[in-house]
């Protein structure tokens, strides 16, 4: 693979990765061999996603398994995707593992879209307020300060500061919008890459964090159920499911638990490594049980977490634009009103006070 193709694979977006997961899951479910299906998929899909599918198809056609391709090309694929594919291959349910990741990824995309939509009106208000503030410091404040000093025996510190700020407006009036614009572009680019936010703990509150965390717990629980149902050893299942969850804390705690299980140590309910898990899930991992019953319980629990995450996402989509518009827009308008009317009110009070 050329350097250009290598870089394009590494910069694949989250939406493209979700599309690849859906297509690969469809190929597996329909019984079409991955090698021929991926080659045709690469021909039909444009750009980076097509090159990635073609690369996978060519390597599998050459006799390499997906596991071997991932092991030999770790720097060419997102770490989370590698973990999900390995867990799916180990459980014998690759399509289910890919669909689980696609569901979590789509939830992240929905939240990001809701956040972007919610920021449209506040950003318009902020831009108008910033332009008004520049006019205040360069035009209105100097005139008001001159009138204040001519008509009273004192001066206003806020007006003096605004005039001083306006004297350098030719610099910050351009630099601030450019800096904010670049930061927004960088943030949006980074969040659109094929990765999920690093870690969401139970200490995070709010629908945003709740939706992301519940989605990751659901992915972990679902993949763990698939692995246990295929009689994968618990220590291996924990490590694979933790890596495939996309959460740094879950992955670390799962790896620590896997090490203890592999060494034959008994898991306790107050174990530090279980803190990353919800209480019921941690209890199930510690207590264990018959593989079939445990897998069924975990699958039902995964469905519950999926539904909780979906409800939180729907709440965000509906109410986040309203909350952000009211909070940001209202705060900006209040600050702008104080900056404009406070000096004028002080001037009127000074003129109305007895000498």
Q: Which of 31, 225, 17, 226 is nearest to 102 (CA)?
A: 17
DSSP state of 74: G
pLDDT of 308 above 60: yes
Residue 100 to residues 10, 22, 49, 85, 226: CA-CA distances in angstroms?
A: 22, 10, 20, 11, 11
Q: What is the pLDDT of residue 178?
A: 92
Where does the pLDDT of residue 179 fall: very low under 50, low under 70, confident under 90, or very high at 90 and above?
Answer: very high
For residue 196, give both structure tokens: 């999920």
pLDDT of 180 above 70: yes
Contacts of 48 (CB under 8 A, 6+ apart): 8, 9, 11, 12, 16
Compute the distance between CA of residue 64 and CA of residue 173 in angstroms, rounded to an integer. Answer: 58
Phi, psi for residue 250 in degrees, rounded to 5: -60, -40
Place of tokens 């509906």: 318
Where does the pLDDT of residue 116 fall: very low under 50, low under 70, confident under 90, or very high at 90 and above?
Answer: confident
pLDDT of 186 above 80: yes
For residue 190, give both structure tokens: 């980074």
The arithmetic mean of pLDDT across residues 52-65, rounded, is 81
Q: What is the pLDDT of residue 206?
A: 53
Rounded percentage of the chain residues whose pLDDT exceeds 90: 1
Summary mean pLDDT of the chain: 78
Query: In the chain, count of helices (H) and strands (E)?
Result: 17, 0
Cα 110 from chain centroid?
A: 10
Contacts of 6 (CB under 8 A, 6+ apart): 76
The arithmetic mean of pLDDT across residues 243-248, rounded, is 79
Contacts of 250 (CB under 8 A, 6+ apart): 199, 216, 217, 220, 242, 276, 277
Q: Which of 280, 315, 306, 314 is nearest to 217 (CA)?
A: 306
- The DSSP code sequence of 93-130 is -HHHHHHHHHHHHHHHHHHHHHHHHHTHHHHHHHHHHH
């Amino acid at each position: 693979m050329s350097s250009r193709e290598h870089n394009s694979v590494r910069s694949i977006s989250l939406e493209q990765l979700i599309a690849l997961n859906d297509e690969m899951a469809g190929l597996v479910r329909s019984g079409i061999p991955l090698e021929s299906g991926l080659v045709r998929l690469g021909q039909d899909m444009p750009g980076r996603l097509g090159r990635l599918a073609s690369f996978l198809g060519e390597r599998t056609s050459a006799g390499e398994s997906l596991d071997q391709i991932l092991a030999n090309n770790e720097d060419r694929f997102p770490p989370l995707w590698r973990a999900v594919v390995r867990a799916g291959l180990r459980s014998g349910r690759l399509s289910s593992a890919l669909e689980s990741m696609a569901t979590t990824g789509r939830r992240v995309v929905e939240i990001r879209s809701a956040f972007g939509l919610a920021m449209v009106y506040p950003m318009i208000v902020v831009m108008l307020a910033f332009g008004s503030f520049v006019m205040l410091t360069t035009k209105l404040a100097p005139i008001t300060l001159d009138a204040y000093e001519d008509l009273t025996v004192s001066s206003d510190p806020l007006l003096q500061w605004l005039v001083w700020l306006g004297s350098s407006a030719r610099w910050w009036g351009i630099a601030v919008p450019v800096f904010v614009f670049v930061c927004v572009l960088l943030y949006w680019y980074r969040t659109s890459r094929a990765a999920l936010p690093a870690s969401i703990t139970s200490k995070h509150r709010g629908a945003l964090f709740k939706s992301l965390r519940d989605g990751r717990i659901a992915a972990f629980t679902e993949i763990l159920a698939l692995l246990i149902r295929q009689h994968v050893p618990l220590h291996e299942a924990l490590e694979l499911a933790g890596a495939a969850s996309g959460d740094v804390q879950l992955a670390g705690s799962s790896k620590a638990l896997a090490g203890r299980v592999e060494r034959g140590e008994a898991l306790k309910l107050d174990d530090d490594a279980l803190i990353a898990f919800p209480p019921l899930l941690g209890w199930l991992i510690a207590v264990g049980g018959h593989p079939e019953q445990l897998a069924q319980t975990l699958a039902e629990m995964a469905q519950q977490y999926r539904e909780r995450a979906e409800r939180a996402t729907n709440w965000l989509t509906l109410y986040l634009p309203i909350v952000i518009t009211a909070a940001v827009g209202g705060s900006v308008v209040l600050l702008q009103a104080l900056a404009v009317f406070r000096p004028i009110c002080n001037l009127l009070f000074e003129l109305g006070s007895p000498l």
